[in-house]
Amino acid sequence: MNAEIGSPDPDRSLADLSFDQVAQPDELARAEALRRHSMLVKPPGSLGRLEELGAWIAACQGRPTPRPFTRARVIVFAGDHGVAARGVSANPPETTGELLGTVLAGGAAINVLASTAGATVRVVDIAVDTDGAESAVSEFKVRRGSGSIDREDALSDAEVHAALLAGRQIADAEVDGGADLLVAADLGVGGSTVASTLVAALTGAEPVAVIGRGSGVDDNGWMRKAAAVRDALRRARAVLSDPVALLRTSGGADVAAMAGFLAQAAVRRTPVLLDGLTVGAAALVAEELAPGARSWWVAAHRSSEPAHAMVLEHLDLEPLLDLDIRLGEGAGAAAALPLLFMSARLLAEVATREQAGVPDPEA
């Protein structure tokens, strides 16, 4: 990979990377929302997880009857990974830049899914290995690509600091701009190899247990991927106690930015719908950076990647969907967005038995 093209400030200190304490969602609002569900004109509990999801939204908003979402935003963090040169993906490294252009042109799966679900998409080039031709989305670009984590650090100290701060600034800008529901999404060849390494490091799993087919690698590609994760994991375990050092050693600029984004969204009390493996790995690190952040997240779906199941177990999150999606880009999260919209509106708009003149079955 080529050298950095951004200008991270080498004098940024670790203090810049600290996140404010995460407040927890309002449990009284959650309880009141569940009580309201028991009063609606339907059998209590008959809407299953939609009732739990609505109560979670109520807790995040701090009100028993949640407001319908009006500005859901999918943020696609794009970046290349040096480990892709090891043949760990079915796609060549230059595919990331091509896919970036497709998303910007509105022709990618995430564009269709998000539009159908009523969300808008923002693309941020954090570390795509191009010359920055797409300058409109390169405001937060840290560098071109990241180091090959099986042999070298992904980032320098200055770069990991810049990426984390970029994620925090992006979250602040979205919340300040009125976003009331956020989705973090990834785009980049080699991302599942990096994510699998982080998951193995943080959950104590062995390399062969976390390796999936990713972009659709064949058996030889799977073996190359397993070897890369094995070598990267040796380096990751040496810095396991420090989440920032872990991102510097074994992450990438896009993953670090996602971690900062997820942590800051929780600090700002804004619900987030998590996508698949790469976002899940960033979420594991974000929980280390801002303990308690997980309470502000819901898992959209269960990826077919084995490491993603470990993420869900570690964060104690039950996914909303299981559609065998492994694309990334926020596709699984976009597919689940309507469930959140429906869950909020059910609490706000379904009549109570009293309003409908329907007697209480227990009366």
* Per-residue model confidence as pLDDT tens for the chain (363 residues): 333 334 444 344 444 678 999 999 999 999 999 999 999 999 989 999 999 999 999 999 999 999 999 999 999 999 999 999 998 888 888 899 999 999 999 999 999 999 999 999 999 999 999 875 556 799 999 999 999 999 999 999 999 999 999 999 999 999 999 999 999 999 999 999 999 999 999 999 999 999 988 778 888 988 999 999 999 999 999 999 999 999 999 999 999 999 999 999 999 999 999 999 999 999 999 999 999 999 999 999 999 899 999 999 999 999 999 999 988 999 999 999 999 999 999 999 999 998 988 887 765
Domain ranges of the chain: 71-335
Instruction: Assess contact for 88 and 225: CB atoms under 8 A.
Output: yes
> Which residue's entry shows tokens 């994760």?
229
CB within 8 Å of 46: residues ≥ 6 apart:
none
Query: Which one-letter DSSP state was computed for residue 155?
Result: S
pLDDT value of residue 136: 79
Largest Cα–Cα distance in the chain? 72
CA nearest 95: which of 112, 108, 114, 113? 108
User: CA angle, 74 as apex, 73 and 76 as ends, to 5°?
Assistant: 145
> How many Å apart are CA 149 and CA 201, to the nearest integer?
13
For residue 301, the cross-strand partners are 321
Burial class (CB in 10 A: 0-12, 13-18, 19+), 36: buried
Phi, psi of 53 (to 5 degrees): -65, -40
Residue 131, helix vs strand vs coil:
coil
Q: Which two tokens stand for residue 35?
A: 């009580």
| CATH number of this structure's domain 71-335 | 3.40.50.10210
Strands 72-79 and 181-187: parallel
Structure-block tokens of residue 143? 């560098």
Which pLDDT score, from 0 to 100, does residue 117 have? 96
Q: Which residues are catalytic?
A: 329
Hey, is 96 helix, strand or coil? helix
Beta-bridge mates of residue 122 = 75
Q: What are phi and psi of 81, to 5 degrees?
A: -130, 130
Q: 193: closest CA among 253, 145, 135, 233? A: 233
Give the tokens for residue 278: 């790469």
**Identity of the amino acid at 349:** E
- Residue 317 has φ and ψ, to the nearest 5°, of -120, 135
Could you tell me the pTM of the whole model?
0.93
- Determine the pLDDT at residue 45: 93
CA distance 184 to 27: 25
Question: Exposed, middle or buried, 178 (CB in 10 Å: 0-12/13-18/19+)?
Answer: exposed
Phi-psi region of 54 (alpha: psi -120 to 50; beta: other; left: phi over 0): alpha
